[in-house]
Amino acid sequence: MSKSSRRAFISGSIASFTWLLTGGQASGAAPAITAGAPCKAKGRERTVDGVTYVCRNVKGKLVWRSTPVEVKQLVFTARVLESSELALGSTKVVNVPTPIGGTTGVVVTRTDIGITALAVACTHAGFPVARVGKVLECELHGSKFEPTTGAVLGGPAVRPLLRYDATETNGGVYVTVTNG
């Protein structure tokens, strides 16, 4: 794998992780309180960027600890391609802008049975998959997936790719994206 694709993966992973933690909120300025930072009053609570921290005694020291993060549900439908851009038998990876900022990768495939849309992130460790021959392949550790269902054809991944609803109308391909 090239250095640039590794770099892109690492920065994408950090962005995805931030997105997950913040529920898609823009990150903004660094929080004044972070998990593990010292605090003064046991039991005191503070909320920063949607994350609530509680001052706890950990091994004799008072430090901020974050409470479990609630991941917000995200569902939206977007026109991801013009119908003419997706030939029979072809696959395209589209970076779809989300309503809360940033983009999310969607793999769109047209076959005889219709159009399938899958999340681009490999279920092993999140590296983006790409069409290689007749399968979707993850370059990082070699997992393979079936492009019309997302089913695992070869590990180390054990879970199928996340599947989205896809429709075709008015000359466009629409995908309903959800974060689970």
Mask for 85-124, x = binds ligand FES (CB under 6 A): -------------------------------------x-x
DSSP 24-62: T----SPPS--TT-B-SSTT-EEEETTEEEEEEEETTEE
Tell me the number of residues near ligand FES by CB under 6 A. 11
Q: Is 156 in the site for ligand FES (CB under 6 A)?
A: yes
Residue with tokens 């997950």: 20
* C-alpha gyration radius of the chain: 20
Least Å distance between CB 78 and ligand FES? 25
Least Å distance between CB 33 and ligand FES? 32
Q: What angle do CA 20, 25, 26 make, to 5 degrees?
A: 115
User: Could you list the residues that contact ligand FES (CB under 6 A)?
Assistant: 122, 124-125, 127, 138, 140-143, 156-157
